[in-house]
Chains A and B, each alone.
Chain A
């Protein structure tokens, strides 16, 4: 019995999976791969990985679907969203689904094993661009919606990460332990996971999604 972490890869691009495998197989056991959401949701509970490296846009349902399906059967499996997409909607959806980290493929490379390890050990890694999004979400939170905003300390944490600080550097700069930083990150994920549901419904409204539906019963002159 070895104590290497077990990793499962989900990505519809063969090249991306091959790249991830290349960086990860030295340190982790790759226990399976899937190129679509349906296969992934089926295979992951059987293979029982510690962590899933999850692309966001997938044929058959998207990353959110995979998280929701797997969590029903195997709630302890962790997910690291790993994607080219820095689209607002994608980040919000995955946060709401409850991923354990979100990094964009801009960070693809030698850092990947560290990020996977961080997500598997509850550290909630995010890349700098995603941290920027988290700050945007926090800024959009309306107090009246009953959602908690980030505390000033938590805000500072995310701000430093967005500026390119690693977790260790952030902790050092704020004169806190890495453990404390991880606790902050868990709270941040919890708060913004809830906030993203509201942000999502507002985005749906702003992009005309909701308005288009409402208009269907409307017969008057459009002006």
Chain B
């Protein structure tokens, strides 16, 4: 699906259409000036024809302003043809009205800009030839001098200027964009290359080297178990880093704690972390509490593994640390002293909670809930 911010009309086309629009408005203003002069000073000019030409030019100028909002409309042959019909009518009006001087001003020229925009230099020159022919016929029929007729060729000059300018701008823009996309592609390629190298190096430095050590130490099960587990964690972190580049929030902090405790107490911590959130103060307090809970489980439970689970729930982080160790009777443990007390107090102070559920011989579960994150 195409997202809405992708603009189907390139910037260059919007700019060109603006230029065409300015030519049209200026051409019309110039014509309006001449129409006013003709109206006031030329009693021979047929007023109906003069007014009709002015109104037609005004209406079509408004239509052009509207059409410029969707530049693709202005590039259709229908628009160019209708635009030309109006321009030809305006250009012929001076002759039909019997005015002593031409009053079409810059309006016909603006058709050349429209044609150049729609079809480049070729179309603008074709339009200029049509206009010139119209003028020459008009000059001849109204019996003017042959020298005046040559003035019609000014249209061809304009057509060349418009056509050449628009074609060149478009070509340059296309070249620039092609160069940019080639550069972008190369950049992506290089980034991929670097990523591949980094991955290969990392695999070599960690996995391969550890495996070699494992092979030499194969007859020491404890050492092998330790090496394999620390390697598992290294790979876990690596995967995590590749999946969530730049992440240094709750999840990363919890994994660091897990590694710390596993190393210190030679216990396996089976970890499920469902959501990641930024490390705000209440979340940090929960991470610290988790460290204590894991330490207790590792030191006192006697279990070979501990489960660590965390989720984000209604603006709070919840962590569960569960072991299947010896457990204890919470009621028998004196309240108000030691680590459990200080931890609980700290969690309460930050708006959270710290709950221990334990039964002798069934293990212990600690539930840590952080204070509100926002």
Q: Residues on A close to B: CB < 8 A?
A: 106, 128-129, 131-132, 135-136, 162-165, 205, 210-211, 214-215, 218, 220-223
Contacts and interface: CB of A to CB of B under 8 A. Distances in A.
Contact of B272 (A131, A214, A222): A131
A128 B11 contact: no
A135 B318 CA distance: 14
Interface of B: 1-2, 5-11, 177, 181, 270-274, 306-307, 309, 311, 320, 322, 324, 365
Contact of B1 (A128, A132, A210, A223): A210
A128 B11 CA distance: 54
Contacts, number: 54
B9 to A, nearest CB: 8
A223 B274 contact: no
Given A220-B10, A221-B177, A164 B270 contact: yes
A128 B307 contact: yes
Contacts of B270: 106, 128-129, 164
A128 to B, nearest CB: 5
Nearest to B12: A221
B4 to A, nearest CB: 11
Q: Determine the main DSSP class of A at the interface with B.
A: helix
A215 B311 CA distance: 37
B5 to A, nearest CB: 7
B231 to A, nearest CB: 14
A131 B322 CA distance: 15
Nearest to A217: B2
Contacts of B365: 163
Nearest to B307: A164
Nearest to B6: A223
A163 B306 CA distance: 10
Which 8 residue pairs of A and B lie closest in terms of their CB atoms, listed nearest first? A164-B307, A132-B272, A163-B309, A163-B320, A164-B322, A221-B10, A220-B8, A129-B272
Contacts of A215: 2
Contact of B7 (A129, A210, A214, A223): A223
Contact of B2 (A128, A136, A214): A214
A215 B8 CA distance: 12
A205 B1 CA distance: 9
Contact of B274 (A135, A205, A211): A135
Nearest to B173: A221
